[in-house]
């Protein structure tokens, strides 16, 4: 399993980093965890063909996590045509919100019936799913009040990873991290404490309890980036490649 950080930044692109997106390449499938508005830019910067992607798993319906999908659709229509479906998995409401965003951004282009689908998979929290030979366990995390935000435990080809999405600290992270090869965990703040994002001191406190082989902090906000030289936990950067 190879994981490429397409975007390690927050919604504000703090520190000039791109918005959330992680490319996971395995023998069985190639897929994205989240697709922020800068995802296509990242793929082209890193010279990774977008049509290699089999599916996209969206954690929640905030623009910095799914706003890049219409740009992928446009790419597949004009620049990198594909004949196989693009599968998109996500929380309840994923299909309606993605198609609505596409209509707002590209109007009549969104009414075309492209050869790539897309095909949507609505994932209720706690119900395991299999998408393109990849096992997904979506679980609800505390981030939004009126909509569902998901974290994902992913298993494929004998490897496993945990992706927190955006969330406040919660004990489900400890449970789902157990035995994983990689845990990509959000870390938006340092001083600020909220119920909907995790701060670095919280992660430093709980890190010894995380039974994962590697912990990578991402979705880094300004408060964290200002203190990078003094942090002992590994932090993601745009373009970082991990062999898992």
Mean pLDDT of the chain: 96
3-state secondary structure 190-229: CCCCCCCCCEHHHHHHHHHHCCECCEEEECECHHHHCCHH
Tally of helices (H runs) and strands (E runs) in the chain: 7, 13
pLDDT given for residue 111 in this prediction: 62
Residues annotated catalytic, as ranges: 64
**What's the whole-model pTM score?**
0.97
User: Counting beta carbons within 10 angstroms of the beta carbon of residue 110, is it exposed (0 to 12), middle (13 to 18) or buried (19 or more)?
Assistant: middle
User: Do the Cβ atoms of 46 and 4 come closer than 8 Å?
Assistant: yes
Q: What is the DSSP letter of 155?
A: E
Whether the per-residue pLDDT at 24 is higher than 80: the answer is: yes
Residue 112: pLDDT over 80: no
Range of the domain at 61: 2-243
C-alpha span between 24 and 28 (Å, rounded): 11
Element (H, E) at 72: helix 69-78
pLDDT in tens, 129-149: 999 999 999 999 999 989 999
Helix-helix angle 69-78:94-106, to 10 degrees? 60
CATH of the domain at 95: 3.60.15.10
Q: For residue 230, what are the β-bridge partners? A: none
The whole-number pLDDT of residue 117 equals 85
Residues 28-73 pLDDT 10s: 999 999 999 999 999 999 999 999 999 999 999 999 999 999 999 9
pLDDT at 115: 80
pLDDT per position as a tens digit, 158-185: 999 999 999 999 999 999 999 999 999 9
Residues 179-231: pLDDT tens digits?
A: 999 999 999 999 999 999 999 999 999 999 999 999 999 999 999 999 999 99
Query: What pLDDT does residue 114 have?
Result: 76
Residues 6+ apart with CB under 8 A from 214: 181, 182, 183, 234, 242, 244
Q: What is the pLDDT of residue 116?
A: 87
Using CB atoms within 10 A of its CB, is residue 202 exposed (0-12), middle (13-18) or buried (19+)?
Answer: middle
Contact 150, 123 (CB under 8 A): yes
What pLDDT is attached to residue 193? 92
Q: What is the mean pLDDT of residues 85-105?
A: 96
Please provide the DSSP assignment of 3-70 as one string: EEEEE-B-TT-GGGPPPSEEEEE-SS-EEEEEE-TTHHHHHHHTT--GGG--EEE---S-HHHHTTHH
Residues sharing a CB contact under 8 Å with residue 171, sequence separation 6 or more, in sequence order:
none
What is the tally of structural domains in the chain? 1
pLDDT at 118: 93
């Amino acid at each position: 399993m190879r994981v490429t950080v397409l975007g390690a930044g927050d919604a504000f692109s703090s520190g000039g980093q791109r918005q959330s997106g992680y490319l996971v390449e395995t023998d069985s499938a190639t897929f994205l965890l989240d697709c922020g508005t800068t995802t296509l830019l990242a793929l082209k910067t890193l010279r990774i063909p977008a049509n290699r992607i089999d599916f996209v798993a969206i954690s929640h319906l905030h623009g910095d996590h799914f706003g890049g999908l219409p740009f992928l659709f446009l790419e597949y229509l004009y620049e990198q045509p594909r004949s196989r479906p693009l599968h998109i998995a996500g929380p309840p409401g994923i299909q309606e919100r993605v198609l609505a965003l596409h209509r707002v951004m590209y109007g009549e282009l969104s009414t075309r019936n492209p050869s790539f689908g897309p095909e949507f998979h609505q994932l209720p929290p706690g119900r395991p799913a299999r998408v393109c030979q990849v096992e997904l366990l979506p679980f609800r995390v505390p981030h939004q009040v009126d909509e569902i935000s998901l974290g994902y435990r992913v298993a494929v080809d004998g490897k496993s990873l945990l992706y927190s999405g955006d969330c406040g600290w919660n004990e489900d992270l400890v449970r789902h991290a157990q035995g994983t090869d990689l845990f990509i965990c959000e870390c938006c703040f340092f001083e600020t404490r909220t119920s909907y994002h995790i701060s670095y001191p919280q992660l430093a406190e709980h890190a010894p309890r995380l039974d994962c082989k590697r912990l990578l902090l991402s979705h880094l906000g300004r408060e964290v980036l200002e203190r990078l030289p003094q942090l002992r936990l590994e932090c993601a950067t745009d373009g970082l490649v991990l062999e898992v």
